[in-house]
Every structure is written in structure tokens, then in C-alpha cells.
Homo-oligomer: A and B are copies of this chain.
């Protein structure tokens, strides 16, 4: 069992809690705003004849490829470091 993590209920800790919550909520709103923007683009694309499903597949595929490339790069860095190539 854990000890009481924050003992100062209602005091300065309460203020910090409020700050944390609000910062997160603010960011969550931003995130939702962007998600909505993305949805709009999909809707617009659909309206001009593109298929949402295919678009999503392309996005996913490119993301995977990008991740692969990053892994490659990381591996390369590792090798270089191991060889003292800075």
C-alpha cells in the first residue's frame, strides 16, 4: 500500500493539482481540435472523390515506412558510435 502522496489537501498542493488538471485539459482540447481538423480534411477529400479508407491506408503505410527508416538511422548511429565515428 502506498503512503499518502499529497498530504496538503486544500493547500498549496490543491493549487498545484488544479494547475495540472487544467494544463492537461487545455492540451486535450488542442488535441481534439487537431483531430477535428484531420476529420475535416478526410471529409473534404471524400467530397472530391477520394476514398477515405484508402487514404488512411496510405497514411498508415507511410508512417510504418518512416518508422522503419528511423530504426535504420538509429541502428546506423549505434554502429558509428561503436566504431568511434562520432
Chain A residues near B (Cβ < 8 Å):
1-6, 13, 16-17, 20-21, 23-25, 27-28, 30-31, 34-35, 37-38, 41-42, 45, 48-51, 53-55, 57-65, 67-68, 71-72, 74-75, 78-79, 81-84, 86
Contact = CB atoms under 8 A, between A and B. Distances in A.
A72 B63 CA distance: 12
A84 B38 contact: no
Given A21-B62, A51-B82, A65-B68, 16 more contacts: A2-B51, A2-B84, A3-B84, A21-B55, A21-B58, A24-B38, A24-B41, A24-B42, A24-B55, A27-B37, A28-B38, A31-B35, A31-B38, A54-B79, A57-B78, A61-B72
